[in-house]
């Protein structure tokens, strides 16, 4: 497309996404890799929450969570998810929709081991999304886990990654007078070639 240049230039949407995230890491004060992740429950009711995107692969986006959380149950039920990354400092955003699979092998182990010790112990102690009697109860659970798991806890079997393979990616950049630039990359299946269109703001 002749006018897709500058910020939007390139034939690989994942490379574009990585370059935008790299730019955000220099300008956003906190969590430039934060995304608003959307899922749908068994009744079709949508849900959204912030998570941290941990990797942009050559064909997918990866984040990690507790497999017994609400988001995980909704993902497992539907097999699809969407997210938006918004960078206020850059006045840009990326929207993604696609299918989801688990990442619970060596890559998940490596990421878990890269986390701080307290975060690893917290992952063992927290029953994410489940009712909690008090913060004191959680602190006590962390202490118990610390005593039993030691200083090098392995990744819990109920904790790991999800890989979103997109069928749709949209790059959005703010424009004067709200005449924003939007380019949508879309394909019918994850193996199909991308079709790229400019969208009205």
Active site residues: 178
Cα 45–chain centre separation = 20
**Cross-strand bridge partners of residue 185:** 169, 196
User: Quick one: which of 82, 61, 96, 81 has its CA closest to 170?
Assistant: 96
The C-alpha torsion from 173 through 24 and 55 to 170, rounded to 10°, is: 0
- Answer whether 145's CB lies under 8 Å from 121's CB: yes
User: Quick one: which of 198, 158, 137 has its CA closest to 3?
Assistant: 198
Pull the structure tokens for residue 68: 């017994």
Pull the structure tokens for residue 131: 């009712």
CA distance 82 to 185: 14
């Amino acid at each position: 497309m002749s006018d897709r240049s500058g910020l939007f230039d390139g034939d690989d949407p994942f490379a574009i996404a990585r370059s935008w995230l790299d730019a955000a890491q220099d300008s956003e004060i906190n969590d430039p890799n934060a995304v608003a992740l959307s899922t749908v429950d068994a009744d079709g009711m949508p849900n959204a929450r912030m998570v941290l995107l941990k990797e942009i692969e050559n064909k997918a986006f990866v984040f990690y969570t507790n497999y017994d959380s609400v988001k995980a149950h909704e993902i497992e039920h539907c097999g699809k998810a969407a997210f938006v990354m918004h960078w206020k400092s850059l006045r840009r955003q990326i929207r993604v929709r696609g299918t989801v699979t688990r990442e619970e092998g060596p890559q998940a182990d490596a990421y878990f081991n890269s986390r701080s010790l307290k975060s690893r112990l917290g992952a063992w102690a927290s029953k994410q999304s489940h009712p909690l009697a008090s913060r004191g109860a959680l602190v006590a659970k962390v202490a118990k886990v610390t005593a039993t798991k030691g200083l090098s806890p392995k990744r819990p079997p109920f904790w790991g990654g999800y890989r979103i393979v997109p069928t749709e990616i949209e790059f959005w950049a703010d424009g004067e007078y709200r005449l924003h630039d939007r380019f949508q990359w879309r394909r019918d299946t994850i193996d199909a070639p991308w079709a790229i269109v400019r969208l009205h703001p």
